[in-house]
Amino acid sequence: MTDSIILSHLQRVRASQTARGGFADRPDGQYRPDCTAWAILILQTQTQDTEQIDHARARLAAELHTDGRLCISPEHPDAIWPTPLAILAWTGASAYQDARTRAIQFLLQVQGTHWEKDPTNTIIGHDPSIPGWPWVMQTHSWVYPTALSIVALTSAGIREHPRIHQGIQLLLDRQLAQGGWNYGNTTVWGRELHPFPETTGIALNALAGHVPSDIVARSLAYLLEVLPSIRTPLSLGWGLLGLSAWRRTPAQAAHWISECLARQRRYGEYETVSLCVLLAAALAPRGLSSLLPSPGESESRP
């Protein structure tokens, strides 16, 4: 995979910016906060995109609710899952420190709906009493929003807060016995569910630096086994990010990413989030957190 391939797809991300500064799912599409945050994370690796990134950060800040939540749309104020993405997108930008702080405080206070585990209930296998983070307010906690919240809070230097420990406990409880993660269930009616590369990758990013490698060894082995045959952007991108967070990037990773990008000629262009996740796998050598600016860089950013 050459630099020219990466640059051409970064240009595709740039082209999805809207008139008001945010990013859409594709050129000429509608603004979405998740697309905007992902575009910021990718484009901040390129020094020439400073003004474009600042406009995008400003759009996210303008959409932030007073309580610190960032919703997927005004029509769905309880769909709070883009909040940790915004925290990551504001990392290193002093002008948005207040917005980032409010979003962090919101994450520390919110949790999913939970109940005590009934030992006689054989329908679900996970422990529903462990607090994590939900996709939507007043609903149960799941792997993706919990893992992404841990990544965002850890990036802010928050590692020992009770909410972090609860989130880690939830992810470990939801890890499948065979390795990997489903979207949040482990067994249903006594049958273990299948893992997915996407959820396994995001969970491994969240747990990196928090737990020893032997605890996630089967999940790492699962990704190493399945990724050679996967060429869809979210699954391959998150899977590689999960491995790189644990310094297990396969030697063929760049070739797999190149093949996945080339498939757009047959299936059409990937939407912004999918493309950004795949590019992140190419640009982040040590997992998602390595896309973020270092403390020294943070001081120099607007």
Say which CATH number the domain at 292 has: 1.50.10.20
Give residue 34's domain range.
3-300
- With cut-offs at 50, 70 and 90, classify the pLDDT of residue 1: low
> Nearest 5 degrees, angle CA 88-CA 94-CA 96?
60
Number of folded domains that form the chain? 1
The 3-state DSSP class for residue 252 equals coil
Rg over CA atoms, the chain: 19
Cα atoms found within 13 Å of the Cα of residue 152, Cβ hemisphere only? 29
Q: What is the mean pLDDT of residues 19-33?
A: 95
Residue 42 has pLDDT above 70, yes or no: yes
Virtual torsion, Cα 134, 158, 206, 238, nearest 10 deg = 90
Measure CA of the first residue to CA of the last residue in the chain; give whole Å.
32
Interatomic CA distance for residues 279 and 24, integer angstroms: 17
Residue 247 has pLDDT above 80, yes or no: yes
The proportion of the chain whose per-residue pLDDT surpasses 90, expressed as a percent, equals 91
Q: Does the predicted model carry a pTM greater than 0.85?
A: yes
What per-residue confidence (pLDDT) applies to 298? 43
Residue 294 has pLDDT above 90, yes or no: no
Residue 65 has pLDDT above 90, yes or no: yes
Residue 295 has pLDDT above 70, yes or no: no
What per-residue confidence (pLDDT) applies to 162? 97
